Amino acid sequence: MRGIREVEWAEADASAVLLSKPRVKLQTVRDLIGEKTVKLLTFASAIIIVFIFLFIIKTAGGVLLSNGYHFVTRSGFDQQVVRAYSATAENPSWYFGVWGLLIGTLGTTLGALLLALPMGIGTAIVISELAPPGIRYLLQMVVRLLASIPSVIYGLIGLMVVVPFIQSALISSAAQIEYINRFQLSGHSMLAGMLVLSIMIVPIIIALAVDAINAVPVRYKEAALALGLSHWRTIVRVTLPAARSGILAGVILAVGRAVGEAIALSMVCGGIGNIPKVQDGFVFFLTPVLTLASAIVNKSELMSIAPIQSALFGCGLVLLITSTVLSLCARLVELVVKRGEGIV
Amino acid sequence: MAAWFFSSLTIAACLGIILYIFFKGAGQINAEFIFTSPNPTLNQDMSGGISTPIIGTILLTLIGIAIAFPWALSTAIYLSEYGGPQLIFQVFRMAIDVLAGVPTIVLAIFGLAVFSLPQFGFLSSMVQGVAGVHRAFGRSFLVAGITMAIMILPFVIRICEEAIKAVPNMYRESAMAMGASKWQSITTVILPAARNGIITGVILGMGRIIGDTAIVWLTLGGTIRMTGLQPWWQPAHWLSTLQNTGSTLTSYVYFASPAGEGNMPDKAFGAALVLVVMIIAINVFTDILGRSGQRIKGN
């Protein structure tokens, strides 16, 4: 730091000799204004980040204080919202629990990940190892385009294609009658959410896996091939394990996207926070669910009521904590990768 | 073999989606659809076109970028040129990372709740006619634009910072050696050298604003017409237009899909096609920009 100071002093002397006095002064003032503005705006960014976090925690505080940890273990969010909506102003209802939404979020995310992982890694292998350059370029273009399509369009296609398909192919009238007491089997389901989400997160996994596979040193592959492994076994036994932290980073990013996805899921999942039951067999996947993020979209019109606003910020806080943890995990993976290529 | 199978599955799904949008949407696209304003009615023949959603998308993108760009660039300059490896800057960088990963829906309810405070009534309008309620409406182009700016802020900061850091140190040293002050060297040497990267960041930020639905749906509202003083395009009514609600292409698609109140999927596909074309244009533009940048570096 001191070196730079000295340079600055030297500079000031030099310009004092070279330039007439008023110009130097003007320049110094200009520098000062510029530097102060930049500093001020940086400070503003820091303040706004802190403010967002504090505001969300404070607004969610009402619900968290009155429910405690039951806020994440109790189910029946839809009925609780209705009760809070119809409660009088003197006697508001602060009774909320988001267990059903957590299950919905977890189910759609895990399902989407299970579908997207083989698709993503398979495509990444083809792009980086198997395809000729022309096809490789084409594939990368398509993947990039897929990554930038807005989520509402995925929701629209899910609603027009996936939901009717599930309804006509997988749901019989008998099943509809059997479950009518619990929920309506209409194709709006966890399965539809998984399918739509998996297509949305595939490009993320592909992009990071391609980078990771390309970063594997060529000598690894050469050594494996020299030992007599086939091309395919080299990929499976050497390249993929060497690239696994990069792939893991892609998975973390993809999970972040899947957990936070609101609009597309609120369109295809059905708006009711049922908890899918494993003993239902395949109907487990056909249960309409609600995720944390899509609950915020669906109930946002009732936000003028304080307890509901607080409950929605509670959902937001859970999402915030999840995304923070995921960001830190991504950092950790990055750190491990940086720490030594020897480990990976 | 497995890899080929899964990749052809992925590519088939991608191409299927893109072709589906093109075929469903292309039938809708004509001059009338693009240039007439939407009309909320159940009669499909009278429901109009998508002129105001297109204007809304452009307007919102401009507001968001106008706020986010100077802000993000300043933060990037400070972090890369003035900030060191001290703990406070590390924490700050990490906080930016965390904010970048926050789902947009969380920022959307944040924006809606904050700008519903009566102090921010000048950004939208005050709720009137309800006894005992003193709060702002919290939905307008200005509110949505500010929320969008916050959404893309961490993203644009990261890209600008990378671009500034990629400028070789030689440039800074030469500028200093010629007697430029630090600020002079930043504005006259470093920023011009990092220009391509910075522009890429801005364009990618615009892409995110264009594609976002959650923030639009919550902070711009579910109306599909411009709700300010009519006619909204007259300069005298501009402020009122900004303070009131409207729609963008994404919220139009949501409104017109079977999930929204409009339920006219054909029109939704038409709007979706326009949206995809916009996104493709942005992708192509960043591609060209990136390539020209590489060529300069290659020389």
Q: How confident is the model at residue B148 (pLDDT cuts 50, 70, 90)?
A: very high
Share of chain A above pLDDT 90, in %: 26
Residue B39 has pLDDT above 80, yes or no: no
Hey, where are the domains in chain A?
2-71, 99-339
Instruction: Assign B128 to helix, strand or coil.
Output: coil
Weakest mean pLDDT among A9-23, A200-214, B89-103: A9-23
- Residue positions counted in chain B: 299
Q: What are the residues whose beta carbons fall under 8 Å from the beta carbon of A338, sequence distance 6 or more?
A: none
The sign one gets for the Cα dihedral A38, A43, A49, A52 is negative
What are the chain B neighbours of A5 within 8 Å (beta carbons)?
Answer: none
CA atoms within 13 A on the CB side of A51: 12
Contact assessment for residue A211 and residue A292, using Cβ atoms and an 8 Å cutoff: no
Which of 33-62 (B) contact A at CB < 8 A? none
Nearest-neighbour CA in chain A from B37: distance (Å): 21
Which of 171-200 (B) contact A at CB < 8 A? 176, 179-184, 186-187
H helices of chain B, in order, are 2-26, 31-35, 51-77, 87-101, 104-114, 141-165, 169-177, 182-185, 191-193, 195-211, 214-219, 238-243, 249-256, 265-298
> Is the CB of residue A250 less than 8 Å away from at least one CB of chain B?
no
- Which tokens sit at B151? 């959404």
Calpha distance B99→B110 (Å, rounded): 13
Search chain B and give the residue with CA nearest A52.
B110
What are the chain A neighbours of B270 within 8 Å (beta carbons)?
Answer: none
Nearest neighbour of A260 by CB, restricted to B11, B105, B276 = B105
- Which tokens sit at A224? 């494996």
- Which tokens sit at B210? 């264009």
- Residue positions counted in chain A: 344
Q: How far is CA A73 from CA A57, A106, A219, in A?
A: 19, 14, 52
- Asked if B3 lies within 8 A of A126 by C-beta distance, the reply is yes
Residue B66 has pLDDT above 90, yes or no: yes
SS3 for A160-198, per residue?
Answer: HHHHHHHHHHHCCHHHHHHCCCCCCCCCCCHHHHHHHHH
Q: What are the residues whose beta carbons fall under 8 Å from the beta carbon of B7, sequence distance 6 or more?
A: A119, A122, A123, A125, A126, A127, A139
> Is the CB of residue A20 less than 8 Å away from at least one CB of chain B?
no
- Which tokens sit at A27? 């320049």
Weakest mean pLDDT among A107-111, B27-31, B210-214: B27-31
Which CATH number does A99-339 carry? 1.10.3720.10
Calpha distance A94→A19 (Å, rounded): 70
Search chain A and give the residue with CA nearest B24.
A157
**Tens-digit pLDDT profile for residues A271-328:** 777 787 777 777 778 888 888 998 898 888 888 888 888 999 999 999 999 999 998 8
Pairs of CB atoms within 8 A across A/B: 255
Nearest-neighbour CA in chain B from A279: distance (Å): 30
> Is the CB of residue A88 less than 8 Å away from at least one CB of chain B?
no
Residue B228 backbone zone (phi > 0: left; psi -120 to 50: alpha; other: beta) = beta
Mean pLDDT score of chain A: 84
- One-letter identity of residue B71: W
Q: How confident is the model at residue A226 (pLDDT cuts 50, 70, 90)?
A: very high
CB atoms inside a 10 Å sphere around CB B136: 21
- Asked if A122 lies within 8 A of B179 by C-beta distance, the reply is no
> Is the CB of residue B204 less than 8 Å away from at least one CB of chain A?
no
Among candidate residues A165, A170, A176, A200, the one with its CA nearest the CA of residue A293: A200
Calpha distance B133→A145 (Å, rounded): 46
> Is the CB of residue A79 less than 8 Å away from at least one CB of chain B?
no
Look at residue A14 in the predicted model and tell me its pLDDT.
52
- Asked if A297 lies within 8 A of B179 by C-beta distance, the reply is no
**All domains in chain B, ordered by first residue:** 50-298 (1.10.3720.10)
Q: What are the residues whose beta carbons fall under 8 Å from the beta carbon of B287, sequence distance 6 or more?
A: none
